[in-house]
Amino acid sequence: MKRKPATIKEIAKKLKISPSTVSRALKDHPSIGLVTTMRVKKVAEELHYEPNQAAIFFKQQRTFTIGVVLSNISEPFFSTALSEIENVASKQGYTVLIGQSLDDPDRELKIIQTFKRHRVDGILMSLGKNTQDLHFLDMLKESEIPIVFFDCVPNVQHVNKVYSNLSSGMKEAIQAFASIGHQNIALINGPKNLLASHEREVAYKLSLEAERIPLNEKYMVHTNLTESGNIEAMEKLLALPTRPSAIVSFNDFVTLDLMKYIRQRGLVQKRDVFFISYANYPLWKYMENPPMGSIEQYPDLQGKCAAEILFKNIATEADIAAEEISFDSKLILR
């Protein structure tokens, strides 16, 4: 049978000293002589002693873990953000627990409830595209578990959030299209309930106005971000009497589906239709015919900043004002 880890009492019994002396020696307390400290550590090693982390955490009232809720870790955006989050957490002596919602609100809530039961010291979260119920905020507040949102953030006040300012990238995208003669510029947007979708629409309209390009309401379509939804949105645009020659799409994964679909329709990218999308997919640079451009949203900066805000909240017992930080998005032409 597997032997249970040795306890401080067992070490004390073997050395015929008090458990309190053993405890202090293991912590290199100055009140314990060097010889005794060395003897205690030698026996502890022989008996494979390990500190009782549960007891330590209970005493410190922390578990030194944080939870991160993402929609899909396979997306390059989130894997980049997560790397920065783990870098910040490691410097603080913390372990990161990860949960994927896969854009399922019920699954997302279960992840948060699990983190709460495991008493994580804080949570970082990017909302799923279908999330509308935010009652979990009250639950976390009652349990004194701070939360910081990043990337996909809720449209509510007094919560910590870090995100990309989408309007700057949109403005540059419309300018780039207009500079090479495009006037029929469409927007394939995300789900209507997303704050990010609303921001894209507002920025799109303002950017067209700035370039003195008339707004065509039929050029604004939505997708649920599935492959079939993306294709359906593209079909609506291609069915118009005057189809758009340029399209800003919700993100690069949408654009991948659109590029595949127009090839099937016998259209040529960057001849019959030009694409610019959000996220700056890292693998574009390896493609022979990538989109005209992609809008960088700086997942590394978002992840790092969100984690730093979270640890600031964890370290502070008193309530502190919520922070809202945004980074300007930037068009990367290819």
CATH number at residue 313: 3.40.50.2300
304 and 155 in a common domain: yes
249 and 155 in a common domain: no
290 and 193 in a common domain: yes
Residues 6+ apart with CB under 8 A from 99: 67, 68, 69, 70, 108, 111, 112, 114, 115
289 and 218 in a common domain: yes
Q: Is 3 a member of any domain?
A: no
Q: pLDDT tens digits, the chain, 334 residues: what are they?
A: 445 667 888 888 888 999 889 888 888 888 888 989 999 889 888 888 877 655 555 555 678 999 999 999 988 999 999 999 999 999 999 999 999 999 999 999 999 999 999 899 999 999 998 898 999 999 999 999 999 999 999 989 999 999 999 999 999 999 999 999 999 999 999 999 888 999 999 999 999 999 999 999 999 999 999 999 999 999 999 999 999 999 999 999 999 999 999 999 999 999 999 999 999 988 898 898 999 999 999 999 999 999 999 999 999 877 789 999 999 999 999 8
Q: Is 71 a member of any domain?
A: yes
104 and 183 in a common domain: no
Q: For residues 127 and 254, what is the distance between their CA atoms, to the nearest angstrom?
A: 18
Residues 6+ apart with CB under 8 A from 149: 124, 125, 126, 127, 159, 160, 161, 162, 163, 306
DSSP state of 269: B
290 and 192 in a common domain: yes
Q: Is 333 a member of any domain?
A: no
288 and 170 in a common domain: yes
pLDDT, residue 285, reads 87
Two tokens, residue 66: 């944080």
Q: Is 97 a member of any domain?
A: yes
- pTM score, whole prediction: 0.79
Q: Is 258 a member of any domain?
A: yes
pLDDT, residue 44, reads 86
122 and 270 in a common domain: no
Taking the CA atoms of 79, 85, 89 and 94 in sequence, report the sign of the dihedral they define. negative
Q: For residues 295 and 284, what is the distance between their CA atoms, to the nearest angstrom?
A: 12
278 and 195 in a common domain: yes
Q: Is 2 a member of any domain?
A: no
Cα dihedral 224, 228, 234, 236 in deg (nearest 10): -90
189 and 134 in a common domain: no
Which residue range(s) make up the domain with 271?
A: 165-296
| Alpha-carbon distances, residue 228 vs 234, 261, 262, 268, 292 (angstroms) | 10, 10, 14, 21, 23
pLDDT, residue 50, reads 77
110 and 258 in a common domain: no
141 and 221 in a common domain: no
The tally of domains found in the chain comes to 3
